[in-house]
Amino acid sequence: MTIRSTFLPLLFSGLVGCSAEPRHAPPSAEFLIASGDSTFWVRSGSDGVRVRRSPILLTRYGGKFYELYVADDDRSFFDAVFIGQRIYRRDLVTGDSLAIFLDPTVPKFASAYAAAHPDERPLAPSEEGSDSPHAVATSETEILDVFGPYLTYEHHTDVDIVNGEDAHTTRRGVVDIARATTASLASIFGASVAARVAAEGRRALDRTIDSVRRARGARARRAAEAIEAFTFDSASFELADDRGRPVVAFVVPGRGERAGGLALPLPPVTAAGLEWWEDVRPVLPSPSADGDEWRGQTYDVLARYDSTGERLTLVLRDTAKREFSLGRLPAPARRVYRLDRPSLDSVERRALARAFDESVRYSDEARTAVAPPARPRIVPAVYAPRSSSRPRSRTR
């Protein structure tokens, strides 16, 4: 997909109020909306509406914007594939990047292989490895969502060593972006709330296990055999938003031959919103009759979904309740950052424009900017067997 690097008028029908006569100009507005796999920079006023689209994923906390992205960490040899992924935070103003999530699994196996094979050297970026490597340790990391200073990721690891380890895991976790560390329930919500949420998660798993054990039939027997391989892990969870309230959704990793690589999602548990959540809440959508909305003092932003749920119509509504259709965007709409209240200063504006310009050069080989998928990749463990792992091709 080619990303346009300049502001262009939206080539969509609309830009008029729902009451066709007389015509009115859309309200003066400037905001970012994270929708689908992209971020859109929207400006409107008496001269119409202009928009830029970029594949970057942004978050804002402490009054500053940061870009979040995932990059490969390739440590492969000719006869061994070791490819992990890291999550980075980039300060838009300074341009400095910091790794905030480091996968420990792949580097561990790469170091062990290097020590056992001192005569081998790592492959250069342009070199090809063996078609049938004897050792494979790979991981994939997806950014699922972000709420101010906290990022939720899904981490999937495959290890396949000839005459050695064969393991597959899927789990989720949360990163404290500001501190570049793994966030625990206690560090996010405090000890008492964390204890309550974890206890409710354990009870939810117990209820699930009891339900599976009581089921009858051949499929139920297979499920009962697999369910024993799931052990509650209070560190495997994601943050989510439920109508403006923070919730915790635990994902129980499966282990062993039957459940390795699978994960069992549990029902979300409501947590307490703290000061950091109050800063996040205004950028999150509120449900409306036909979609989502973000209300403001001088204009509202509306997202109205089509029947498929894959596209939405972006609408501005002024203080007189006139509506202006701005066009269609990919769904879902997740966050709106207003740039006019408070107004973006000149330094931040230049930094944001530079980030949009630089995103034109992004590629799968050099850098992957990952936006949250519409539906996270989780396989209910008791229903779907996992296929055997195959080596993943190297990124060049």
Per DSSP, the chain holds a count of helices (H) and strands (E) of 7, 22
pLDDT at position 365, please? Answer: 42
Residue 13: per-residue pLDDT: 38
Handedness of CA 8, 12, 13, 19 (dihedral sign): negative
Side-chain half-sphere CA neighbours of 268 within 13 A: 13
How does DSSP classify residue 110?
Answer: H
Tokens of 300: 């509202």
Per-residue pLDDT at 390: 28
Neighbour order of strands in the sheet with 38-45: 8-9, 48-54, 38-45, 29-35, 333-338
Chunk the chain into consecutive blocks of 10 residues (it has 396) and report each block's average pLDDT, rounded to whole numbers: 39 42 81 96 92 95 94 95 96 96 93 95 92 95 96 96 88 96 96 96 92 75 77 95 93 87 93 87 93 96 95 96 95 96 93 93 51 36 29 33
Res 220: pLDDT: 66
What pLDDT does residue 363 have? 54
Contact 372, 95 (CB under 8 A): no
Instruction: Give the up-direction half-sphere exposure of residue 362: CA atoms within 13 A in the CB hemisphere.
Output: 23
Query: What was the pLDDT predicted at 151?
Result: 98
Domain boundaries, the chain: 1-183+285-396
**Integer Cα distance of 17 and 31 in angstroms:** 20
Map residue 186 onto helix, strand or coil. Answer: helix
- Report the SS3 class of residue 359: helix
How far is it, in rounded angstroms, from Cα 173 to Cα 249? Answer: 10
**CA-CA distance, 78 to 130, in Å (whole number)?**
6
Q: What are phi and psi of 392, to 5 degrees?
A: -90, 140
Which alpha helices (DSSP H) does the chain contain, by range?
105-116, 185-189, 191-214, 218-227, 256-259, 275-280, 346-358
Residue 17 DSSP symbol: -
3-state secondary structure (DSSP) of residue 176: strand
Residue type at 281 in one-letter notation: R
Amino acid in position 32: L
What's this model's pTM, rounded to 2 decimal places?
0.83
Tokens 């499929």 -> residue? 219
Candidates 149, 174, 145; CA nearest to 279 is: 149
Distance (Å) of CA 44 to CA 16, 258, 368:
12, 55, 30
* Residue 32 contacts residue 41 (beta carbons within 8 Å): yes
